[in-house]
Structure formats: C-alpha cells, structure tokens
Structure 1
Amino acid sequence: MAARRLAAALSLVAALFVVGCGGGSESTSIAVGARDDSLSTLLAHLYAAALRTHGSPSHVAVVDDPLVGLDSGEVIVAPGFTGRLLETFAPGGKARAAAQVYRDMVAALPEGVAAGEYAESAEDKPALAVTEATADAWGGRDMTAAVRNCDTLRVGQVTGTLRPAKIGNCAVKAREFPDTAALFTALRDRQVNAAWTSTADADIPEDVLVLTDRTALIRAENVVPLYRRNELSEVQVLALNEVAGVLDTAGLVQLRRQVADGADPAAVVDGFLAEHPLGATSR
C-alpha cells in the first residue's frame, strides 16, 4: 500500500512538472520591438494584438533599434518595411516592385531571422504630391508624368526626411522646408510644383493629390514582420501573417491619424481589429 501511495505521488509530481513547464512556455509574453516613434509603435501594437488574438501573451518593447534587439533576443518580433529592411541587409539593392523587394529582403536576412508575410496592400513609401493644376499641365496623375516633365520639376521636402535622389532616370534635387505646413504652402504658392510625402502620411492636405506609381519607379515599402527563427509556434507565425490580410494603406493612414490626435496606440489597434477581425481557422 505504501509503495502504491509513493508511486501515485511521484506520478502526480511528474504530471504537475510537465504541465508547469508547458504552461510557462505558453504564458511567456512575446516582446514585439518598436522604436520610440509613433509609426513603429503603432505597428508593434498591431502585431502584439494579433498574437494575443490567437492566445499568445505579448507586449510592446520600445528599444533603440528593434533589429539589434531581434539579434540579441531582447525582442522576438520586429515589424518594419520591406524596402528599408532590404537596404539595411543588402545596401544598394536594385529591386523596386513589391514582390521582388520582399524576395530579395528575405534572401538577405541574417541567419536566425525569418520574415512573415508582407502586407501587399499596406505601404508607406515616398510619393510626390502635386496640385490638380500641375497634374493637368503634366497630362497625368502617375509618377511617369513627373518623369516626363523632369526638366521643369521643382521638388520640395521637409528638412531631415530621406527621399529618393532619382525617380527612374530623373535626378531630383529637393528644396527643403522646416515642416509639412511650410512645404504645402510652398506647393500652393508655386514655389515648388511637387512635394515629397509618403503613401501613408496622415498629414496630406485634401486639396492636393498624390501621384500613383504603377510602374514601381520608387522602391516598395510594405509592412512586414521579422521574427527570431524557431522561437514562435506555427500558430504564432500564422497570427503575424494574418495582419497582411486585414491591413491596407488607407487603414494605416487612419490609424496614424487617430494616434496623432492623441489616442492610445493599443486602444486604436484594438478598435481596428474589432472592425477587421483576424481569421479564426487556427484557434
């Protein structure tokens, strides 16, 4: 009898140990890295919320450099943009179209880092804003129209922003302005006839239009998550990938506007996912 009691007790201890180990693994909060800026923090909250939607505890960790944090293990997930990441890992890369930029970025990732699916419809890449009058004079509303009028192109940009030095074969030298308001005032006053902005900029005035880029004259910059290889389960990777199915550029702009107006990024993301729920096939 004593032997049976001892065996039962040992079995119970072993079972509790196994459950405890498994529970600890599942309950460990996944750190999603972000820089200390509104866009990076917003994307980190989006991917952290996606993980929680699939039952994985997660939190946003603001660090100096999420890629360094990814390498050290300080963070497990680090959202970013395909073109900027390609330039980081393979400077001088020539790819511009979204799919090729993503493929080249994946090929250039360091050992131990993997990429989730990129959001094909969600980007934040440099773009030119012009007035309706300029678009009419150029005979088009695409970047190709700016290239056709390269000889008369006068571009402005906000001081400190990084913008392309060329659009296709058209070299661009931009005049600098102290802030967005001054830049668009100069555009309306015809001091410049084009203003550098970005496709997900939340501060583009309603009285200007942003040129499309149908032929990928400017390198793609699509939202994408990086993560430490072999650190996430299949369900957790699926959670990251599902963001690509609900996020588009218009949604990203709206999220940025809400945060710019003072809303809490986590609350903004929760509201977005309530309206655009992630898939539930893996739950």
Structure 2
Amino acid sequence: MKKNRILSTVAIGAVLALGLTACGSDPTKASGGSSSQIVVGSASFGESEILAEIYAGALKAKGFNASTHLDIGQREAYLGALSDGTISLFPEYSGNLLAYYDKTSTASAPADVLTALKKVLPATIVALDPSTAEDKDSYNVTAATAAQYGLSSIGDLAKVPNLKLAANPEFKIRSYGIPGLGSVYGVKNVAFTAINDSGGAATLKTLTSGQVNVADIYSTTPSITANHLVTLDDPKHLIAAQNVLPIIRKDHDSAAVDAVINAVSAKLTTAALLQLNTAFYGADKPSAASVAQAWLKANGFA
C-alpha cells in the first residue's frame, strides 16, 4: 500500500531529546559488544529504509553488531528474508501485517490490531512495542476549507455541501473509503474523482485547485505540510491502524535489544515520520543513513 512520494525542500525538524541518563550499568548496553549480528531489513521505499537505519544506528550506539539490508522488496520478500535468517529485524506496519496473516480480521483500533496480530504471528517472530507513528490513508482538506466549514474530523465532512473527494480508484469500494464514509460517519452523497497516483501530484493539484473538497493522501507524505493541509481526525477508526511496529526473529530477541528498539518506538510519531520523509525527499537528496543519524542525534540515541 505504498505510494509515490511528493518531493519537498523542507529540512528535517529537530525534535527535543529526552536525555538518557545512566545509573550504574546500562540495561540497554550490549555486554562487551554482541557477537551475534543483527541485520535490519527494509522494503523498497525511503521511509522503510530510514526506519531500518534508525534501528541499526540505535543498536550500534549501544554496542550491538548491527547492519542493514535495504531495498529487499515487498512483504512476501522481506518476511521470507526474516524467516530464513537473512535479516533479523524489520520495521513493519501493524494493520498491513495483520491483513497479510489474517485477511478476515476486522480489527481497526491500534490496540485491537496489535492484539489480533500477536495471535497470528509465526512463533519465530516477536512483535516489539509499536510506535504511535502511522503511515496510512488519511482524509485531507485545505486549510481554507477546514476554516470555512469548521472541519477537524472525518464526520465533519457532513457539513460540506456537494462534497467531492479524490482518491485512488479502489477507494470507491474499499471499506475505509466511500462505503465507510456513509456507514461509519454518515457522510453520504459523495461525488468521487478517481486519480490513480496514490495521493501524488495530480491528487494534490485537484485538491488545492478546489476541484474537490477532500483527498486521500498518505499520512506521512511531505506535501501535507508543504501545502498546509489539514488531516482530519478519525475517532471511529474507519481506517485501520498502521502503527510502525518493529518485528524481530525470536532467536535474535533479548531484553537488551528490546530496550533499545522500544525506546526508539517511544520517540517515533507520525509528525516525526513526516519530517524524516520531507528531509529524505528534499532538494539535497540525503541518504537514508544521514537522515536517520540526524534523528538519532536529535533524540539522544547517538
């Protein structure tokens, strides 16, 4: 469910770090360095590569023997690599991973998705703490439209006369799209414009030019902040949770590794992901490793 990314020149915003203090021994430190290499994998898009570099960088800073194996491919490929031991750790998305293992699940809220996922994960894979960061479909309006109609959540779209929505063609039939707008939020009689660019440039232009009132754009796409769009809240969880979720091979899992990666997850937010993507796709075109390192330093991990 990944998408084309919108390029932006906005630099990564620094996030205030919480100081990491030590009293006696540090439980997150690899004892004498780890002889077992932890290979962090990524899928074939920038955000996944950045997350992999963040995990690996945080582990290295604590003395672990960590490296990355980037651009593995789609879910079947990287889960296969996790299964056969080519990689040890991977940044996943909770809702999509649940759908992969259980296509019948109706779990939508973050806690429900995680509970359901843990029941169907292979015994060889452990899910660590999820972050609050999510990369998923989101309903977006311009700041002017939000102000005009007092829009803050998806249900508020019922206030908009002659509502027009732009999204990928499948949005017309997906449960989180037009059908869910009516059944979950009571927003009906929506004029739909199909644009097959996954919330890319054509969708953005259609929204900002006023041809539609609302558009589906992935929640960590840089164009959201670059164009001051308002992402509408989804209090009823119409769109299933897609929290960034580290998964690790059980034979590489340990309390020390968990402590490092869970600390990273505690700092990752959707806003942080958006900033990371904005930096990565900016004019300077930095590497995923350099973007990750900047975030690690800003947040006290390096």
TM tier, shorter chain?
0.7 to 0.9
Q: Which runs of 5+ in 1 are unaligned?
A: 1-21
Larger Cα Rg: Structure 1 or Structure 2? Answer: 1
Contact persistence 1:143–1:217 (CA under 8 A) = no
Superposed CA RMSD: 2.8
What does 1:161-176 correspond to in 2, within 5 Å? 164-165=176-177, 166-168=179-181, 169=183, 174-176=193-195
Match of 1:47 in 2: 55
Distance 1:161 1:60 in 2: 35
Match of 1:7 in 2: none
For residue 34 of structure 1, the aligned residue among 24, 42, 60 is 42
Q: Assess, with a 3 A threshold, how the Cα gap between structure 1 residues 74 and 149 changes in structure 2: closer, same or farther.
A: farther
> In structure 2, what residue type is equivalent to 1:88?
Y
Distance 1:88 1:106 in 2: 13
Q: What secondary structure does 1:27 align onto?
A: coil
Q: Assess, with a 3 A threshold, how the Cα gap between structure 1 residues 160 and 254 changes in structure 2: closer, same or farther.
A: farther
Deviation at 1:136, TM superposition (A): 4.5
Match of 1:265 in 2: 288
Per-residue CA shift, 1:57-108, capped at 9, x if unaligned? 1111122322111111111111111111111111132111111111111111
Q: What secondary structure does 1:79 align onto?
A: strand
Contact persistence 2:36–2:65 (CA under 8 A) = yes
Per-residue CA shift, 1:215-249, capped at 9, x if unaligned? 32211111110111132322012211111121111
Q: What secondary structure does 2:252 align onto?
A: coil
Higher mean alpha-carbon deviation, 220-229 vs 190-199, is at: 190-199
For residue 202 of structure 2, the aligned residue among 174, 182, 198 is 182
The TM-score normalised by the length of structure 1 is 0.80
Match of 1:9 in 2: none
The yes-or-no answer on 1:221 pairing with 2:229 is no
Q: What secondary structure does 2:123 align onto?
A: coil
Distance 2:277 2:144 in 1: 29
What does 1:86-101 correspond to in 2, within 5 Å? 86-101=98-113
Deviation at 1:167, TM superposition (A): 3.0
Q: Which runs of 5+ in 2 are unaligned?
A: 1-30
Q: Assess, with a 3 A threshold, how the Cα gap between structure 1 residues 151 and 89 changes in structure 2: closer, same or farther.
A: farther
Deviation at 1:160, TM superposition (A): 9.1
Higher mean alpha-carbon deviation, 249-258 vs 157-166, is at: 157-166
Match of 1:69 in 2: 81
Distance 1:143 1:111 in 2: 38
Contact persistence 1:130–1:210 (CA under 8 A) = yes
Task: Give the percent of matched residue pairs that are identical in Structure 1 and Structure 2.
Answer: 27
Q: Assess, with a 3 A threshold, how the Cα gap between structure 1 residues 181 and 277 changes in structure 2: closer, same or farther.
A: same
Answer 1 or 2: higher relative contact order, Cα 8 Å, separation at least 6.
2
Q: Assess, with a 3 A threshold, how the Cα gap between structure 1 residues 88 and 177 changes in structure 2: closer, same or farther.
A: closer
Contact persistence 2:222–2:275 (CA under 8 A) = yes
Distance 1:136 1:92 in 2: 39
Contact persistence 1:246–1:278 (CA under 8 A) = no
Match of 2:7 in 1: none
Contact persistence 1:157–1:174 (CA under 8 A) = yes
Contact persistence 1:156–1:177 (CA under 8 A) = no
Contact persistence 2:164–2:214 (CA under 8 A) = yes
Match of 2:164 in 1: 154
For residue 273 of structure 2, the aligned residue among 235, 240, 252 is 252
Distance 2:161 2:104 in 1: 26
Match of 1:17 in 2: none
Q: Assess, with a 3 A threshold, how the Cα gap between structure 1 residues 81 and 231 changes in structure 2: closer, same or farther.
A: same
Distance 1:256 1:161 in 2: 24
Contact persistence 1:156–1:195 (CA under 8 A) = yes
Query: Would you identify which runs of 4 or more consecutive aligned residues in structure 1 move more than 6 Å?
Result: 159-163
Per-residue CA shift, 1:141-174, capped at 9, x if unaligned? 201123x369944221357999743435168855
The yes-or-no answer on 1:118 pairing with 2:141 is no
Deviation at 1:207, TM superposition (A): 3.9
The TM-score normalised by the length of structure 2 is 0.75
Deviation at 1:177, TM superposition (A): 4.9
Tell me which protein shows more helix as a share of its residues.
1
Contact persistence 1:119–1:223 (CA under 8 A) = yes
Tell me which protein shows more strand as a share of its residues.
1
Distance 2:142 2:103 in 1: 34
Q: In the comparison of the two structures, how many residue pairs are matched?
A: 255
Contact persistence 2:126–2:253 (CA under 8 A) = no
The yes-or-no answer on 1:60 pairing with 2:72 is no
Q: Assess, with a 3 A threshold, how the Cα gap between structure 1 residues 26 and 208 changes in structure 2: closer, same or farther.
A: closer
